[in-house]
């Protein structure tokens, strides 16, 4: 895998077949070039949390730039006997010529607001659907989970260790990328380090310790190879009777004479709270107060919180399967819905109705704003409006619940600041955004999360952040619903 392998793969056919059967219909019916607007949004935060971290935009950009049907792809599609040669010819020259607007990667986001808006020819908007969703759903899920885990570590570094339990190679590599955006300090997955310049970490497994005649010899060998970066796994035989005493001897007999310091020990089994306290005491008595203790046994945000509440003496954490697949909540339910059609230069809003109120879409070509309270600098609400609405913060602003018409709130003039969330990524097929490093995205994400009230980040019963509508949008939505009922 080379440095930018991700940008060279043709992932075009990672697509539901119905995108192509629909595309073929548009092609045959002559409406393939009709301009349409699709919104990508999600309805529910993972783990019943209070927010999500939007991630995956960079890979979506690469997918769009790389989008093409190879000769081999065409040959395969021909073999399905569902498409005629005109259509296959069309696909061979296919590229995305539309516009994509998206919230910046790393931004904390909320249910039912458009994270991505696609304005494109119908056939193009349809063909990118699956790829867009799988990219954003996967990375937003893992970035959000990472935030939760990191938050509960209260400033102690968390390392991502999950590759072996990932759902395939991309889940390992892009999952590590997303976890880093969400806040982990590094990953064990080398491919993620190579592709995204993420710090990589790793020392030894039990098999290494077992490969020597005894634990002391194993530790000694490792210390001699990595005197500056020596973290010893102390639970292969008996943590307190063998592992920690051997680690102490290595620190004193091997490293100190070299002028080096043992960096840390790692606990990977047993009662981590108890073992960490005993190990800390043993290290301290030996004068090794500088040796850190890390833990890595099936941890998640709740276990880390519990360990710290018990006074466990832990300085860092390695988190595996519970993070890399977001085990407790392994699906980010992003959807992609038609919200408008352009006819004779007019944008005609479309709505998807449902018996389930939460599943009714917000119609039209729209904008998303975040409203900040000037006094605290904290975000108060997100506001969805039609695309042609302008907010004047020198005037009072009334914002409305998405479905309960009696719920609204007025924000006083000159007490708030407005920021638009979506930025142009592609305009008429041309990439107009910037490519950021994962580190930059991570830093931006931290900064934006700090602009939200802490109550949003609570694991249990988080504050329900407002995502409201403008009066104009709400009225239009209600009118459409009433018309549909007739």
Instruction: Considering only residues 101 through 130, tell me which ones interact with its own copies, judged by CB under 8 A.
Output: 122, 126, 129-130
Minimum distance, C-beta of residue 432 to its own copies, in the bound complex (Å): 25
Q: Which two tokens stand for residue 238?
A: 């008996």
16 binds its own copies (CB under 8 A): yes
Figure out which of the listed residues 43, 164, 395, 479 binds its own copies, where binding follows CB under 8 A: 164
Q: How many C-beta neighbours within 10 Å does residue 256 have?
A: 14
Nearest CA to 434 among 148, 16, 57?
A: 57
Q: Which one, 222 or 476, has the nearer CB to its own copies?
A: 222
Closest Cα partner for 370 from 424, 445, 443, 451?
A: 451
CB of 18 to its own copies, least distance (A): 3
Cβ 226 vs Cβ 234: under 8 Å: no
Site for its own copies in 183-212 (CB under 8 A): 188-191, 193-194, 200-208, 210-211
Residues 296, 231: Cα–Cα separation, whole Å: 13
CA distance 184 to 157: 7
Binding mask 221-240 for its own copies (x = CB under 8 A): xx--xx--x------xx---
| Contact positions with its own copies (CB under 8 A) in 33-52 | 34, 36, 38
Q: Which is nearer to its own copies, 164 or 407 (CB)?
A: 164
Parallel, antiparallel or unpaired: strands 379-386 and 466-469 = parallel
Hey, which residues between 325 and 354 contact its own copies (CB under 8 A)?
Answer: 325-327, 330-334, 336-338, 341, 350, 352-354
In degrees, rounded to 5, the angle at the alpha carbon of residue 383 between the alpha carbons of residues 378 and 388 is: 130
Binding span for its own copies by CB under 8 A among 219-227, 369-377, 407-415, 434-442: 219-227
Under rule CB under 8 A, residue 74 binds its own copies: no
Nearest one of 392, 382, 358, 360 to 452, comparing CA atoms: 382
Specify which residues 335 forms β-bridges with.
41
Which residues, in sequence order, are CB contacts of 374 under 8 Å at separation 6+? 414, 415, 416, 417
Q: Cα–Cα distance between 440 and 191 in angstroms, integer?
A: 19
Strands 99-103 and 346-349: unpaired
- Part of the chain binding its own copies (CB under 8 A), chosen from 4-12, 44-52, 283-291, 393-401: 4-12
CB closer to its own copies, 73 vs 373: 73
How many CB atoms neighbour CB 232 within 10 A? 25
d(CA 157, CA 313): 14
Residue 23's contacts (CB-CB under 8 Å, 6 or more residues apart) are: 32, 87, 123, 126, 127
| Residue 341 Cβ vs its own copies, minimum distance, rounded to whole Å | 7
- Among residues 15, 88, 286, 418, the one that binds its own copies under rule CB under 8 A: 15
Question: Residue 26 or residue 365: which is nearer to its own copies going by CB?
Answer: 26
Q: Is 172 in the site for its own copies (CB under 8 A)?
A: yes
Compare residues 2 and 394 and give the one whose CB is closer to its own copies.
2
Question: CB of 352: closest distance to its own copies in angstroms?
Answer: 6
Helix locations, 228-300, DSSP H: 244-249, 272-285
- Mark residues 418-457: x for contact with its own copies by CB under 8 A, - for none: ----------------------------------------
Contact 65, 153 (CB under 8 A): no
- Minimum CB separation of residue 392 from its own copies in Å reads 34
Give the interface segment with its own copies, choosing from 21-29, 45-53, 96-104, 245-253 (CB under 8 A): 21-29
Candidates 43-51, 76-84, 278-286, 393-401: pick the segment binding its own copies (CB under 8 A): 76-84
Site string for its own copies, 252-291 (x = CB under 8 A): -----------------xx---------------------
Task: Please compute, for residue 349, the number of CA atoms within 13 A of its CA located in the half-sphere on the CB side.
Answer: 22
Binding status of residue 161 toward its own copies by CB under 8 A: yes
Q: Smallest gap, in angstroms, from Cβ of residue 12 to its own copies?
A: 7
Task: Confirm or reject binding of residue 458 to its own copies (CB under 8 A).
Answer: no
9 binds its own copies, rule: CB under 8 A = yes
Give the contacts of 249 (CB within 8 A, at least 6 positions apart). 216
47 DSSP assignment: G
Indicate the residue among 70 and 357 with the shorter CB distance to its own copies.
70
């Amino acid at each position: 895998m080379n440095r930018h392998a991700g940008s060279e793969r043709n992932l075009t056919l990672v697509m539901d077949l119905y995108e192509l059967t629909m595309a073929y219909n548009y092609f045959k019916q002559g409406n393939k070039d009709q301009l349409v607007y699709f919104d990508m949004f999600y309805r529910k935060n993972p783990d019943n949390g209070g927010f999500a971290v939007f991630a995956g935009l960079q890979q979506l950009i690469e997918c769009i730039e790389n989008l093409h049907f190879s000769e081999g792809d065409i040959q395969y599609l021909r073999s399905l006997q569902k498409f005629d040669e005109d259509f296959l010819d069309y696909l061979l020259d296919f590229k995305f010529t539309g516009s994509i607007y998206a919230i910046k990667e790393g931004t904390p986001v909320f249910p039912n607001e458009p994270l991505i808006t696609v304005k494109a020819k119908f056939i193009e908007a349809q063909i990118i659907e699956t790829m867009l969703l799988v990219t954003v759903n996967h990375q937003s899920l893992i970035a959000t989970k990472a935030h939760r885990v990191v938050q509960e570590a209260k400033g102690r570094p968390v390392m991502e260790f999950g590759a072996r339990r990932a759902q395939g190679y991309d889940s390992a590599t892009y999952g590590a990328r997303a976890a880093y955006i969400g806040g982990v300090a590094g990953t064990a997955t080398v491919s993620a380090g190579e592709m995204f310049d993420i710090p990589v970490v790793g020392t030894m497994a039990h098999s290494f310790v077992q490969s020597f005649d005894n634990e002391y010899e194993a530790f000694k060998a490792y210390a001699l190879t990595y005197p500056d970066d020596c973290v010893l796994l102390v639970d292969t035989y008996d943590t307190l009777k063998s592992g920690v005493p051997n680690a102490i001897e290595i620190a004193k007999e091997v490293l100190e004479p070299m002028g080096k310091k043992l960096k840390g020990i790692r606990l990977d089994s047993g009662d981590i709270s108890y073992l960490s306290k005993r190990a800390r005491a043993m290290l301290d008595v030996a004068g090794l107060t500088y040796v850190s203790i890390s833990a890595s046994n099936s941890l998640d945000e709740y276990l880390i919180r519990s360990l710290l509440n018990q006074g466990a003496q832990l300085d860092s954490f390695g988190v595996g399967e519970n993070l890399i697949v977001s085990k407790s909540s392994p699906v980010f339910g992003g959807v992609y819905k038609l919200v408008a059609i352009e006819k004779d230069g007019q944008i005609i809003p479309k709505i998807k109705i449902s018996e389930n109120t939460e599943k009714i879409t917000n119609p039209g070509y729209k904008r998303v704003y975040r409203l900040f309270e000037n006094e605290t600098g904290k975000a108060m609400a997100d506001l969805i409006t039609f695309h042609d609405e302008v907010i004047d913060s020198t005037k009072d602003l009334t914002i409305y619940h998405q479905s309960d018409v009696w719920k609204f709130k007025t924000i006083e003039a000159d007490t708030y600041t407005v920021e638009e969330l979506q930025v142009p990524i592609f305009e008429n097929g041309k990439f107009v955004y910037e490519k950021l490093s994962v580190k930059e995205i991570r830093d931006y994400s931290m900064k934006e999360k700090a602009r939200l009230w802490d109550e949003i980040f609570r694991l249990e019963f988080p504050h329900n952040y407002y995502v409201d509508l403008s009066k104009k949008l709400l009225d239009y939505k209600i009118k459409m619903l009433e018309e549909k009922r007739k």
